[in-house]
Amino acid sequence: MVSIRIRVGPKGQVVIPKVFRDVYGIKEGGEVVIIPTEEGLIIKSEKSVEEVIKTLKKYREKRRKIKAVGKLGDLVEVDLEEEFDEDFP
């Protein structure tokens, strides 16, 4: 399981990293559900498990495509923002 450490802002706000917002379909003005458990808090998006898996598969395929480019010099022609943004509006 992936875990990251993020800081809590002065008003108790946390920033969900962009990659997670993209994969889970969390958009500005959207809603998430916070579920308290004995182990901590769970933040859930409104996106279904099937939608998340489909998005993750697209994301992994993009990563493979970029890795397959080869030499570092070849990456000059790859616009990473464009590569990822086309699948994550």
Q: Of 19, 43, 22, which Cα lies nearest the Cα of 31?
A: 43
Cα 6 from Cα 46, distance rounded (Å): 22
Question: What are the distances in angstroms from CA 70 to CA 15, 43, 75, 79?
Answer: 33, 37, 8, 15
This prediction has a pTM of: 0.53
pLDDT in tens, the chain (89 residues): 677 889 999 999 999 988 888 888 888 988 898 999 999 998 988 777 788 788 888 878 877 776 665 555 554 454 555 555 555 55
Cα 72 from Cα 89, distance rounded (Å): 27
Q: For residue 30, give the H/E element and its range.
A: none
Return the domain boundaries, the chain. Answer: 18-85
